[in-house]
A and B are shown apart, each in its own frame.
Chain A
Amino acid sequence: MTVQTTQRRGGGYLERPKPSGLADVIEIILDKGIVIDVYVRVSLVGIELLTIDARIVIASVDTYLRFAEATNRLDLIEHGGGKPLDEFIGNMQESGASGKTKGAVEGVKRAITGGDDDDDDEERRRPARKSSSSRRRSESR
């Protein structure tokens, strides 16, 4: 458990924003906290509905079409090259090996390699071309 807790501080991959944005605050507090009985309280200051982002419903035709479009728009780029996480995986196994953990370890490996075991996949032979990610970011919001 104590192996790798020293060197990774300040690595910069973990984003640490201040919860200052309205969306952050709403997500943190919405529907949370001790609820005071309706008979006791004088009133409840509501949260303006407009400020609550509608959650995207994943199972809808519109969503499916958006996914299809995003998938078709891909310039397939080569992934992988992530650093081995053996040290990390070792830690996780130490801290409680179970069937689930084993599956989880495979998940981490997949996380590192980009999830493709088939190196002969013809798509991967295409020249790596990174395309702008800004367009899909704006779409997914």
Chain B
Amino acid sequence: MIAEADRAPTADAAEADLVPGEGRGVLVYGVVDASSKVPAGLTGLDDAPVTSVRHGRVAAVVGEITLDRPPGRRAELVAYSTVLDTLAEAGAVAPVQFGSVLLDEQAVVEDLLAPNEDEFAELLVQLEGRTQFNLRATYLEEVVLTELVQTDPEIRELRELTRGLPEDAAYGERVRLGELVARALEERSGADADVLLDAITPLVAGCNVRPGGGADHVLDAALLVDDDRRDEVVDRLEGLAEAVHERMRLRLVGPVAPYDFVGGS
């Protein structure tokens, strides 16, 4: 972080110098193969037409954007993901981080595409014929808590001890009960997540387990799925969802662009 701080002023200066007079820049959505065609009529942020800028074997998918603007809001996030998901339906696309703006198309070529052409081309080969699905498994909280009460004697005892009492009584016991429940939930969700992963990872080309939050969290994973195995994956998940439906929900979002599989830092 100290090194970052040293560099910060330079970076600010560089950014300021680069801002063009008319306050417009080029937003980069993603990188595609040079032979890819952007679907006609596709628009992105600010309803600006989405076009591509080619260099060698790769191309950046871009749109014009005004620079002086508040942080991204709903419509902008949705527009960005819509552009990328639309591109992903047509072929391999490597998403670029939301909101990345370059000076102009020349900068896109010189600063982004030319220095990284080989890397991007290789990445696109890996992504060819694949899209991302996001899988989330959550507990039905009441069901899993009941399991804990029924299987853990200490939890059961503390529950019996505290449940009839007013809220401000037995504070220490309540905290202890909650702590035991939290720990047991974490352990249980870890094991259940492994079950799901063991069932699904043999069918997918990539899997990125995302950190979870929330009491009902079991698993949040991005799956990179071969197009010709998509049905198989969905079938497997449907089978899993049915098998666990009394205590878990499985939710599958996609296909979306392979946001988790572009090696972003």
Contacts and interface: CB of A to CB of B under 8 A. Distances in A.
The answer to whether A and B come from one shared complex is yes
Interface of A: 4-6, 8-11, 13-20, 22, 24-49, 51, 55-59, 61, 63-72, 74, 76-77, 79, 81-83, 85, 88, 92, 95-96, 100-101, 103-105, 107-108, 111-112, 114-118, 121, 123-124, 131, 133, 136-137, 140
B244 A112 contact: yes
Interface residues of B, number: 109
B64 to A, nearest CB: 12
Interface of B: 10-11, 14-15, 18-19, 25, 27-28, 30-31, 45, 65, 67, 69-74, 76-78, 80-81, 85, 94-103, 107, 111-112, 134, 140-143, 145-151, 155-156, 158-159, 162-163, 174-179, 181-182, 185-186, 188, 191-192, 194-195, 198-199, 202, 213-216, 231-232, 234-254, 256, 259-260, 262-265
Contacts of B234: 9, 14
Contact of A79 (B107, B143, B148): B143
A3 B172 CA distance: 52
Contacts of B246: 79, 81-82, 112, 114
Given A28-B256, A58-B215, A107 B264 contact: no
B77 to A, nearest CB: 5
Given A16-B252, A43-B101, 14 more contacts: A13-B245, A31-B97, A32-B259, A34-B30, A36-B97, A42-B101, A59-B182, A64-B182, A70-B145, A79-B147, A83-B243, A107-B194, A114-B246, A115-B151
A11 B242 contact: yes
B99 A67 contact: no
B253 A9 contact: no
B259 A29 contact: yes
Contacts of A124: 150
Contacts of B19: 42-43
A45 B146 contact: no
Contacts of A82: 243, 245-246
B238 A29 contact: no
Given A29-B81, A35-B264, A79-B143, A111 B25 contact: no
A76 B11 contact: no
A22 B195 CA distance: 30
A133 B249 CA distance: 14
A47 B71 contact: yes
Contacts of A111: 192, 195, 243-244, 247-248
